[in-house]
Amino acid sequence: MGRRLVRSRVVLGLGALVIAGCDRTARVHVEGRIRLDRATDAALVVPLEGAKGAFPVDESGRFVGTYGALHVHPDRIPLLVHVPGIRPFVLLPGRDFRIEARDGSFHAELDLDPARARPPRSLPLACTTESCTADLPTEAKGCVSTIVVLDGAKTTLVAPGSQRLEGGGTRLMAFFPLPRQRARSLVLVSTCGDDAYVSEVATFDGP
């Protein structure tokens, strides 16, 4: 099976479905540990849909949080893992961990080792003082792209602009959000089936 990104079990049960009329949201309680080479309070786990914010990782590497999106099964929601000093990587349900129905609830327990992570495909950025662009290759099909804005322990998810290229690829455009009173960073992520394309972290220093 090659390298495994998650060295533990993920147990998800279908009973955490909240039904209110036509509103169906399956929420997942997730907790786990990232094996950090050195202590940091700046690591984050970011659901790419259905969370109010990122899940901060404490200096021992532990994190906890809940996420879920309207009419979206959790096996379709990737998790972005950001650890300072390394390229962010992606947990793809069905590729990196199993989802199982158990005990009428959604629950995930993760043990992550960045040194054994399946590295994402590179997504090189070209940045100005206000925006960045990146080109997805022609072979990247069925992609869902997200800009993850990092502002300390806070994150904002934004859909990038896109433009088809003559050669068949796609140019993604990430405009840095205002205000600019302080430094912020962004990461551009595209999940394409079982592949993930992830940029380096681009930092804007403000005015």
pLDDT score recorded for residue 102? 66
Contact status, residue 9 vs residue 115, Cβ threshold 8 Å:
no
How many Å apart are CA 142 and CA 157, to the nearest integer? 19
- Under CATH, which architecture does the 14-116 domain have? Sandwich (2.60)
- Residues (pLDDT < 50) of the chain are 1-23
The hierarchical CATH code for the domain 121-204 is: 2.60.40.10
Give, as one character, the DSSP assignment of residue 75.
G
pLDDT score recorded for residue 28? 79
Phi, psi for 37 (deg, rounded to 5): -70, -35
pLDDT score recorded for residue 39? 85
pLDDT score recorded for residue 153? 82
How many Å apart are CA 23 and CA 104, to the nearest integer? 19
**Is 121-204 in the same CATH topology as 14-116?**
yes
Q: Would you kindly state where each structural domain of the chain is located, as residue ranges?
A: 14-116, 121-204
The structure tokens listed for 114 are 């960045």
